[in-house]
Amino acid sequence: MTPISKTLEQMLLDIYKDGSVSVTEYRQLRDNADERMEAVIREFGQHNNITAFQKAMDVAMQLLQLSVIDAKKAKLTDTGEAIVKDAVVSQVEYLRAGSELALRLL
């Protein structure tokens, strides 16, 4: 796993310790991620690939939420729900694996 700061590691442990993420915890993590990105902006400036990545992550989260709402409205079967969940998790894992590979370059 990619090394992370102790503060981020502790936050993630606290969030996932009960096996469920609340809306409050989600917002806390989102806000913390934005604060950490502010440090990058101070270092490299506003217009760069990492700030574009941050915006893309915001869009990805919005699309994920809308996709789940659409799936819920479709009144999927249990199998359909399992297919959607599997597809979403595979996309998230694709991003996670890609980040592991990319961050090795630092």
Q: Which amino acid is at 30?
A: R
What residue ranges in 1-106 does DSSP mark as E strands? none
Cβ pair 44, 50 in contact under 8 A? yes
Q: What integer pLDDT is reported at residue 62 of this predicted model?
A: 95
Q: What integer pLDDT is reported at residue 3 of this predicted model?
A: 67
Q: Which amino acid is at 102?
A: A
Q: What is the pLDDT of residues 32-50, one digit of tens each?
A: 999 999 998 888 888 778 8
- Tokens at 47, concatenated: 């217009």
Distance CA 22, CA 18 (A): 10
First to last CA, the chain: 14
Map out the domains of the chain as residue ranges.
1-44, 47-106
Mean pLDDT in consecutive groups of 10 residues from the start of the chain, 106 residues: 82 93 95 92 84 92 94 92 95 93 89
